[in-house]
């Protein structure tokens, strides 16, 4: 059934493909070279960051060693050089990635679940609940995300967990809206009506018929929003809100070196490139996924 | 139209109430209160309690909130916990910088991204399209403060072409506006491209071609006019994004706007300042969204507000 | 009879990401001045592609003309400059599209949209004259002229199609291409629109190609008929000749069998076995061979050529090899 519908989208084909839907999506995704590049780069980055303790001592990131200050990249065994306190920039960037990418992924996971639940309830049941949830979402979306996150962090106090909560509150409304819109669109679709006619239970309609159909757009928006969240975390790190020094974070690495970047450009270029490349990879992946999931949308 | 405008303005009120109440409630969840924070370490419990009463913090949170809102209605945003300066004066003083930055950035972003977005759509799948789309992705992925610092070092500190910090002359706005615009230009070019492409493939554009209209007329009169509606919606929401972006950029360029005010207040948890700034910003975002909505009826005859 | 339009061995394919679709394969068709020709065929047979080719309106980047040519009034359409093409579209040839709901620009008043045709093709015409012409054509298609100031969303489907017809005829073209003009409309409205088109065709003396999948409409409306299958014309003749059902292409024959016939006692319709041609492979032999009950090995291998069975009635089928018509 699934294979048939996927093939049907591609054009008239009377040989029913035995390949599963996901295999087809993966086949289409693979053809997009930029999307593959993004996937490989991001995977490599995540691997390097996750396995960091195996090859890189965390102390190199936080221990000051003034005599080694401003060692240029590639000198004295410092691949990315050192900062004004002689801390290893490679170690700071790699361990900083644990915060930047890690917090980003965690936020996305929380807001994905939160968005599905709130949007699902709102879209499927409609009426009063829908009204209340959507008004709250509207309200939260009326303020620029970074500012709202800052205000919430201010109210809750500093710390990584508070940062995660604030970012989740900022991002859930957008996800909830996407899910709700998708469900509203589908709720009255003919195949859902057909399923109802067969006497299908509510739960089965939601999980078997509705969810797989909204998963596509939701995954795409999630990947796209991960980039935005990483940028938001970096901005807050730059402003010194959220994670506290000396814990490294990509944005805060840039701000602590700001006065020296003019004379030692690598101090700004390297962490900046890490942010940019990870966000760029994510948008390549998001584009690739969108085209692979819905070939009709492709330009 | 007037009725709709009034209705929309009135709808801003619950949003503002909601947002302020929300922040107030979160604050009340956190242990410790400003009276303890502000009292000198050697203060006795009675002195702290006296301060608490003085600040109105002994009352239930809802009463505190109602008092706060009542004051707001009278133009009183309270005083900073630390400096005792009236928040309203400070906001009034700083608002012009932030708004000018936001408005310039939004206008310039639109002026650049509508033509370029249309160009990429018309030339889609050619090298112009590929190059521009790739550049857009790169600029959208760049942290704006990083771009700001790069611009500052290269166009100001090293060359002396433009002022690096502060506000004053129009030249002061150049670098911050570029830094704030860059990502919204990038995003808006991409969304314009999508919408124009969508319209170019529509039946009525084919009808226009079948009439014998020149390609220029087809694009400008038939395609762009129809694509403008979703494009403008996007720009409305990008104003919020621009204001959000200005948070960091004001710090990079040491602009004495609302965002720097908010940022320093967040670090000291100076609640009256945070509440006031957020409130004012959300009113402006609301007003811009309203203006965008009202523009719909000018562009699209199907939209009628009654 | 003077030839107005000549399509010769036209080959058009769509290059999509997934596959190459062969829409027209050796498509040939002539049209005389003043003729009303019905083009009949199933969905996907290439009818719309043909119409768009005539005006060179095929979607760029996707559609590719790989062979053949189209001559309009002695001029090769594919060799025309952009300027010549623009002069052709709307003034010489105009088109009525299938879906009136989507073929009008939603942000322009219908009057302006009709007016635009005049503005493009008669730039020297005074504003006053143009407005009069618009009012006149609106009246002709049965719309009160004052409704010209309204927007498309204020019109019903049938009324929108009247606007599209007005737009197509306002510059008094010599050839009108109507691509399933009534498919998207209610049955009761269909008849009205067809009547209107016939009336206006007579009044302006326009030649016309009516694309449809409805044999009934052809019988009522057209003088001649061309049957299209798999991107080629497989039968062409006058309505009397083809509808006489004495000599038909097997495909045309099976099309007739799909129509309920009230004069016989048959209780069942005969469906055509198989599926519409998968146009992702260009057939070697006859495109209908796969579904044809009279097909032989030869039909699969060798493409049949045109065989005249009567004057002006030809069939592209091996069955009629020995016929001697003209």
pLDDT for res C76: 92
Check CB contact under 8 Å for B210 and C90. yes
Q: DSSP letters along B128-194, please?
A: HHHHHHHHHHHHHHS-HHHHHHHHIIIIIITT-SS--SS-SSTHHHHHHHHHHHHHHHHHHHHHHHH
Confidence band of C114 (pLDDT split at 50, 70, 90): very high
Residue A12: list chain C partners with CB under 8 A: 44, 275-276, 278, 280
pLDDT for res A144: 83
| Integer Cα distance of A299 and A32 in angstroms | 13
**Nearest C-alpha of chain A: how many angstroms from C274?**
11
**Residues C12/C23, Cβ–Cβ less than 8 Å:** yes
Low-confidence winner among A65-79, A171-185, C17-31 (lowest mean pLDDT): A65-79
What SS3 state is found at C23? strand
Strands C93-96, C207-212: pairing kind = unpaired
Q: Which CATH class is domain B87-299?
A: mainly alpha
Judged on CB neighbours under 10 Å (0-12, 13-18, 19+), C235 is: buried
pLDDT for res A18: 52
**Nearest C-alpha of chain C: how many angstroms from B239?**
26
Check CB contact under 8 Å for A277 and B277. no
| Integer Cα distance of C243 and C240 in angstroms | 5
| Integer Cα distance of C286 and C317 in angstroms | 8
- Chains near C with 3+ CB pairs less than 8 A apart are A, B
Interface check for B265 against chain A (CB to CB < 8 A): the answer is yes
**Nearest C-alpha of chain B: how many angstroms from A262?**
6
Check CB contact under 8 Å for B209 and C95. no
C130 or B52: which leads in pLDDT: C130
Residue B247: list chain A partners with CB under 8 A: 144, 146-147, 150, 235, 239
Report the alpha-carbon angle C112-C117-C123, nearest 5. 100
**A142 → chain B, closest CA residue:** B282
Residue B137: list chain A partners with CB under 8 A: 280, 283-284
Tokens 């000291």 belong to which residue?
B268
**A296 → chain C, closest CA residue:** C17
pLDDT for res C258: 80
| H or E element, residue C77 | none
pLDDT for res B240: 79
| Integer Cα distance of A78 and A60 in angstroms | 10
A295 or A93: which leads in pLDDT: A93
Question: Would you give the DSSP letter of residue B149?
Answer: H
Average pLDDT over residues C42-70: 88
Confidence band of A13 (pLDDT split at 50, 70, 90): very low
Check CB contact under 8 Å for C151 and B301. yes
| Integer Cα distance of A198 and B154 in angstroms | 68
Low-confidence winner among A62-66, C154-158, C228-232, C272-276 (lowest mean pLDDT): C272-276
Q: Is the pLDDT of residue A277 over 90?
A: yes
Average pLDDT over residues A220-240: 87
Confidence band of C268 (pLDDT split at 50, 70, 90): low
Interface check for B127 against chain C (CB to CB < 8 A): the answer is no
Indicate the residue of A10, A14, A295 with minimum beta-carbon distance to C278: A14
Indicate the residue of A11, A14, A295 with minimum beta-carbon distance to C275: A14
Range of A46's domain? 29-58+78-292
User: Which tokens hold the place of B132?
Assistant: 């521009």
**A136 → chain B, closest CA residue:** B18
**Residues C26/C11, Cβ–Cβ less than 8 Å:** yes
Q: How many domains does chain A have?
A: 1
Interface check for B7 against chain C (CB to CB < 8 A): the answer is no
| Integer Cα distance of A127 and A163 in angstroms | 33
Indicate the residue of B140, B146, B262 with minimum beta-carbon distance to A268: B146
Dihedral sign for Cα atoms in the order A8, A11, A17, A21: negative
**Nearest C-alpha of chain A: how many angstroms from C18?**
7
Check CB contact under 8 Å for C94 and B210. yes
3-state helix, strand, coil in chain B (%, to 5): 75, 0, 20
Indicate the residue of C19, C275, C276 with minimum beta-carbon distance to A11: C19
Q: Is the pLDDT of residue C260 over 80?
A: no
**Residues A236/B145, Cβ–Cβ less than 8 Å:** no
Average pLDDT over residues A253-269: 85
pLDDT tens digit at each of 306 positions of chain B: 778 888 878 877 887 888 888 877 877 776 666 777 777 777 788 888 888 787 777 778 788 888 888 888 888 888 888 888 899 999 999 999 999 999 889 889 989 999 999 999 998 888 999 999 999 999 999 999 999 999 998 888 888 788 878 787 888 888 999 999 998 899 889 889 988 988 988 899 999 999 999 989 999 889 988 888 888 877 777 787 888 888 899 999 999 999 899 998 888 888 888 888 888 888 888 888 888 888 877 777 777 665
Partnered with residue C308 across adjacent β-strands are: C314
pLDDT, averaged across chain C: 87
What is chain C's Cα-based Rg? 21
Tokens 């606007």 belong to which residue?
C163
Judged on CB neighbours under 10 Å (0-12, 13-18, 19+), A220 is: buried
Residue B301: list chain C partners with CB under 8 A: 106-107, 109, 151, 153
| Integer Cα distance of C89 and C95 in angstroms | 9
C173 or A80: which leads in pLDDT: C173
Q: Is the pLDDT of residue A61 over 80?
A: no
| Integer Cα distance of C50 and C68 in angstroms | 12
Q: Is the pLDDT of residue A296 over 60?
A: no
Average pLDDT over residues A118-137: 86
How many percent of chain C have pLDDT more than 90?
39
Interface check for C282 against chain A (CB to CB < 8 A): the answer is no
Confidence band of C188 (pLDDT split at 50, 70, 90): confident
Check CB contact under 8 Å for A283 and B23. no
pLDDT for res B132: 93
pLDDT for res B135: 93
Tokens 């929380």 belong to which residue?
A110
| Cis before B188 (ω within 30) | no
What separation in angstroms does the CA of C88 have from each of A237, C76, C172, C175?
A: 63, 12, 12, 10
pLDDT, averaged across chain A: 81
Confidence band of A9 (pLDDT split at 50, 70, 90): very low
What is chain A's Cα-based Rg? 23
pLDDT for res C216: 87
Average pLDDT over residues C7-16: 90
pLDDT for res A11: 43
Is A196 among the domain residues? yes
**B281 → chain A, closest CA residue:** A143
Confidence band of C261 (pLDDT split at 50, 70, 90): low
Question: Would you give the DSSP letter of residue A64?
Answer: -
pLDDT for res A5: 37
Interface check for B28 against chain C (CB to CB < 8 A): the answer is no
CATH number for the domain harbouring residue A178: 1.10.3720.10
| Integer Cα distance of A139 and A103 in angstroms | 25
**Residues B250/B264, Cβ–Cβ less than 8 Å:** no
Check CB contact under 8 Å for A14 and C19. no
- Chains near A with 3+ CB pairs less than 8 A apart are B, C
| H or E element, residue B99 | helix B87-122
**Nearest C-alpha of chain C: how many angstroms from A3?**
16
**C52 → chain B, closest CA residue:** B210
Average pLDDT over residues A66-83: 78
pLDDT for res A10: 41
Q: Is the pLDDT of residue A299 over 60?
A: no
Is A63 among the domain residues? no
Confidence band of C265 (pLDDT split at 50, 70, 90): low
Check CB contact under 8 Å for A12 and C18. no
Average pLDDT over residues C190-196: 86
Average pLDDT over residues A8-12: 41
Partnered with residue C306 across adjacent β-strands are: C316
**Nearest C-alpha of chain A: how many angstroms from C60?**
13
Residue C16: list chain A partners with CB under 8 A: 11
| Integer Cα distance of B299 and B233 in angstroms | 12
Check CB contact under 8 Å for C276 and A11. no
- Chains near B with 3+ CB pairs less than 8 A apart are A, C
Q: By C-alpha distance, which of B285, B304, B278, B292 is closest to B77?
A: B278
| Integer Cα distance of A108 and B236 in angstroms | 25
């Amino acid at each position: 059934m699934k294979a048939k519908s996927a093939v049907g989208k591609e054009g008239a084909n009377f040989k029913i493909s035995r390949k599963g839907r996901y295999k087809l999506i993966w086949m289409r995704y693979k053809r997009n070279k930029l999307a593959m590049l993004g996937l490989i780069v991001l995977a490599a980055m995540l691997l390097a960051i996750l396995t960091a303790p195996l090859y890189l001592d965390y102390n190199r990131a936080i221990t000051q060693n003034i005599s080694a200050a401003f060692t240029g990249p590639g000198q004295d065994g410092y691949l990315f050089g050192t900062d004004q306190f002689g801390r290893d920039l490679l170690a700071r960037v790699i361990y900083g990635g644990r915060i930047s990418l890690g917090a980003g992924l965690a936020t996305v996971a929380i807001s994905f679940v939160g968005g599905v639940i709130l949007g699902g309830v709102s879209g499927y049941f409609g009426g009063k609940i829908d009204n209340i949830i959507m008004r709250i979402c509207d309200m939260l979306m009326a303020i620029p995300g970074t500012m709202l996150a800052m205000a919430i962090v201010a109210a809750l106090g500093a710390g990584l967990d508070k940062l995660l909560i604030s970012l989740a509150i900022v991002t859930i409304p957008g996800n909830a809206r996407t899910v709700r819109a998708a469900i509203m669109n589908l709720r009255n679709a003919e195949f859902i009506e057909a399923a109802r006619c067969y006497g299908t239970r509510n739960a089965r309609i939601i999980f078997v018929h509705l969810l797989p159909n909204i998963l596509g757009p939701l995954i795409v928006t999630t990947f796209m929003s991960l980039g935005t969240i990483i940028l938001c975390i970096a901005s807050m790190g730059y402003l010194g809100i959220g994670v506290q020094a000396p814990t490294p974070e990509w944005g805060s690495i840039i701000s602590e070196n700001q006065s020296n970047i003019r004379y030692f450009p690598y101090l700004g270029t390297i962490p900046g490139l890490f942010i940019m490349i990870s966000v760029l990879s994510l948008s390549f992946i998001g584009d690739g996924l969108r085209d692979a999931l819905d070939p009709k949308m492709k330009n | 139209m007037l009725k709709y405008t009034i209705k929309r303005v009135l709808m801003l009120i619950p949003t503002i109430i909601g947002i302020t109440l929300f922040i107030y409630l979160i604050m009340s969840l956190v242990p410790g209160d400003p009276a303890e924070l502000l009292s000198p370490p050697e203060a006795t419990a009675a002195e702290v309690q006296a301060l608490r009463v003085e600040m109105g913090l002994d009352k239930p949170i809802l009463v505190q909130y109602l008092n706060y809102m009542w004051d707001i209605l009278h133009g009183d945003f309270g005083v900073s916990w630390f400096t005792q300066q009236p928040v309203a004066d400070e906001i009034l003083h700083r608002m012009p910088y932030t708004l000018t930055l936001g408005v310039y950035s939004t206008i310039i972003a639109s002026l650049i991204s509508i033509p370029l977005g249309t160009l990429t759509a018309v030339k889609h799948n050619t090298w112009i399209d590929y190059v521009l789309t790739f550049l857009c992705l790169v600029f959208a992925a760049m942290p704006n403060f990083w771009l700001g610092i790069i611009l500052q070092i290269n166009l100001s500190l090293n060359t002396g072409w433009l002022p690096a910090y502060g506000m004053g002359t129009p030249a002061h706005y150049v670098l911050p506006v570029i830094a704030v615009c860059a990502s919204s230009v990038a995003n808006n070019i991409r969304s314009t491209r999508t919408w124009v492409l969508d319209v170019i493939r529509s039946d009525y554009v084919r009808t226009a071609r079948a009439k014998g209209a020149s390609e220029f007329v087809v694009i400008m009169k038939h395609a762009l006019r129809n694509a403008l509606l979703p494009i403008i919606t996007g720009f409305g929401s990008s104003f919020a994004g621009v204001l959000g972006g200005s948070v960091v950029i004001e710090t990079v360029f040491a602009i004495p706007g609302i965002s720097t005010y908010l940022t320093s207040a967040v670090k000291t948890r100076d609640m009256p300042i945070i509440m006031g700034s957020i409130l004012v910003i959300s009113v402006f975002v609301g007003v811009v969204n309203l203006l965008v909505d009202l523009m719909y009826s000018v562009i699209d005859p199907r939209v009628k507000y009654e | 009879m003077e030839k107005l339009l000549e399509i010769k061995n036209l080959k058009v394919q769509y290059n999509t990401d997934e596959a190459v679709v062969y829409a027209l394969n050796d498509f040939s068709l002539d049209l005389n001045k003043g003729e009303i020709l019905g083009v009949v065929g199933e969905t996907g047979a290439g009818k719309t592609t043909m119409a768009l080719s005539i005006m060179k309106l095929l979607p760029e980047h996707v559609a590719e003309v790989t062979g053949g040519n189209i001559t309009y009034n002695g001029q090769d359409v594919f060799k025309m400059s952009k300027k010549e093409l623009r002069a052709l579209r709307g003034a010489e040839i105009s088109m009525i599209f299938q879906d009136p709901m989507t073929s009008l620009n939603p942000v322009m008043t219908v009057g302006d949209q009709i007016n635009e045709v005049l503005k493009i093709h008669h730039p020297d015409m005074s504003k006053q004259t143009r407005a009069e012409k618009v009012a006149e054509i609106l009246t002709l298609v049965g719309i009160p002229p004052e409704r010209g100031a309204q927007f498309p969303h204020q019109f019903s489907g049938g009324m929108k199609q009247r606007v599209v017809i007005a737009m197509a005829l306002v510059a008094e073209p010599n050839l009108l291409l109507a691509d399933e003009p009534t498919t998207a409309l209610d049955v009761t409205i269909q008849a009205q629109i067809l009547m209107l088109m016939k009336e206006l065709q007579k009044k302006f003396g326009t030649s016309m190609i009516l694309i449809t999948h409805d044999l009934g409409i052809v019988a009522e409306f057209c003088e001649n008929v061309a049957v299209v299958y798999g991107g080629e014309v497989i039968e062409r003749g006058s309505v009397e000749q083809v509808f006489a059902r004495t000599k038909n292409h097997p495909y045309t024959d099976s099309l007739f069998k799909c129509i309920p016939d009230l004069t016989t006692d048959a209780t069942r319709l005969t469906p055509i076995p198989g599926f519409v041609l998968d146009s992702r492979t260009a057939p070697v032999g006859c495109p209908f061979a796969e579904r044809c009950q009279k097909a032989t090995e030869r039909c699969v291998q060798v493409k049949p050529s045109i065989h005249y069975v009567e004057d002006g009635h030809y069939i592209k089928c091996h069955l009629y090899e020995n016929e001697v018509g003209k």
